Amino acid sequence: MNIFKHLPKQAVAVLSAIVIMVGLSSPAMAAFGPDRPTKAWSPTVSGFDHVTFNSFTGVGNGVGDERDFMRGIQVGRDSTWTDPVKNVSQDAEVEAKIYIHNNADATLNDAPGNPGVAKNVTVRVALPSGAKQTQEATAFIKADNAQPGTVTDTLTMTGANNGFFQLAYENGTAQVHDQSGHVTALTAAQEQALTGTGWNMGDQKGCFAFVKEITFKMRVQMPEHSISKQVALPGQTAKDWTEKVNVKQGDTVSWLVTFRNAGKTELDHIKIVDDIPVGLTVVPGTVKLTNGNYPNGYVYADKDVVQANGRQLNIDIGNYLPGGAAYISYRTTIDKTAEPVCKPMALVNKAFATPAGYGAVWDVAEADVAAQSCATTPPATPVTTTSLPNTGAGNVVAIFAATTAAGAVAYRWFVGRRLSRR
């Protein structure tokens, strides 16, 4: 960026040609502030008569409008610093760059009292928390004698396929770049200040020759979660869980809902909702959670989880780190009716898992009730109920033990399945 120095007159023609070649347009920008006086840059324009930051427009070398002073790239994919950075992907690095230019005219640097020198230039970055489809990081630049005292700009990032994601700052990645090409890594304490109360860079003279840039990296962490629904008959083992069983009226069946966090971020307050179809009745005292906190299972009180007159289970199973899993199991009876079942009937049980702040995923299992002999034989067309059921047992503890090599890390476990939805 040495072209930003106040060059001698013989270099003006060359610099003007460079500006024409690169153009004066800038990338799309996110919010910056506050409103402040600006100057359109040209090779002959003077700087401001006071300390102010990033207030030139039409700057060459791809800078454009200095008020849009925080931009980024997805490392390994993008070659141009932009705002916003679109479609960031799972586990990618986003590198952000903060452009810091004291716009005071260079002649003021050595004037009596050094009125062109910005005192105690402090840079701070506010990073977003939580998972969203669009994230914004905000940079702040201030100095004791700047007008305005603080300027701000945001860098907007969007997730690939409109996916939710969160950003994790990567320690040890922050660097300061000056116009001589020298790069200095920030210390751990300086990084902590940069992303905390602000890092004091010291004083900065006015002029393009003294522009500095700070870069740092963030890791993209996208959630990935799944649910599976299975069913088993009494006496069957863990290996017998399946998506469909044949039953008759009066039978007892077990249901199993498995939730897995296969992504890179913690998922909180996972809500499991399981709609119980007409034709099934939950066996009292059988709704059980098995996870790292409860490797032998925790049995819920029916009044706490069985709702809608027995037609729904509604359970908050807690928070789960990446790799975490949980199992909800319970039993139902196949209701007996006064009249024989003259048509085969599929009791389809659909369960949903919804982490706080994310969309639901779902899966189904079913119990098929065989038709009984009737006076008039009806067509053998299955009738699917509009409701749905939940979890089973077989041996949930056995499943849990077999799939949990990492042991009891409270509320945390593994990956997905064919019918899961992201």
Residue 223 · residue 265 · CB < 8 Å = yes
Rounded average pLDDT over 96-101: 98
Q: Between residues 266 and 103, which one has the greater pLDDT?
A: 103
Rounded average pLDDT over 116-143: 95
Does 288 have pLDDT greater than 90? Answer: yes
Element holding 261 (H helix, E strand)? strand 252-261
Does 421 have pLDDT greater than 60? Answer: no
Considering only 121-125, 315-319, 375-379, 391-395, which range has the smallest mean pLDDT?
Answer: 391-395
Q: How confident is the model at residue 265 (pLDDT cuts 50, 70, 90)?
A: confident
Q: Between residues 343 and 8, which one has the greater pLDDT?
A: 343
**Which long-range CB contacts under 8 A does 173-178 form with residues at least 24 apart?**
173/95, 173/215, 173/216, 173/217, 174/214, 174/215, 174/216, 175/214, 175/215, 175/216, 176/201, 176/212, 176/213, 176/214, 177/212, 177/213, 177/214, 177/215, 178/210, 178/211, 178/212
Q: How confident is the model at residue 413 (pLDDT cuts 50, 70, 90)?
A: very low
Task: Express each pLDDT in 340-390 by its tens digit.
Answer: 667 888 999 999 999 987 878 899 999 999 887 665 555 544 444 333 333
Residue matched to tokens 């986003």: 94
Q: To the nearest whole number, what is the mean pLDDT of the chain? A: 84
Does 329 have pLDDT greater than 80? Answer: yes
Q: Between residues 214 and 264, which one has the greater pLDDT?
A: 214
Residues with Cβ within 8 Å of 384's Cβ and at least 6 positions away in sequence, in order, are: 346, 348
Considering only 57-71, 82-96, 188-202, 232-246, which range has the smallest mean pLDDT?
Answer: 232-246
Q: How much is the pTM?
A: 0.62
Token pair recorded at residue 191: 């990084």
Residue 198, amino acid = G
Does 224 have pLDDT greater than 70? Answer: yes
Task: Express each pLDDT in 43-58 by its tens digit.
Answer: 999 999 999 999 999 9
Does 274 have pLDDT greater than 60? Answer: yes
Hey, is 259 helix, strand or coil?
Answer: strand
* pLDDT value for 209: 96
Q: Which of 104, 117, 110 is nearest to 6 (CA)?
A: 104
**Which long-range CB contacts under 8 A does 55-58 form with residues at least 24 apart?**
55/103, 55/151, 56/101, 56/103, 58/24
In terms of phi and psi (left: phi > 0; alpha: psi -120 to 50; beta: otherwise), the region of 364 is beta
Does 99 have pLDDT greater than 70? Answer: yes
* pLDDT value for 406: 35
Domains of the chain: 2-221 (no CATH), 225-403 (2.60.40.740)
Q: How confident is the model at residue 411 (pLDDT cuts 50, 70, 90)?
A: very low
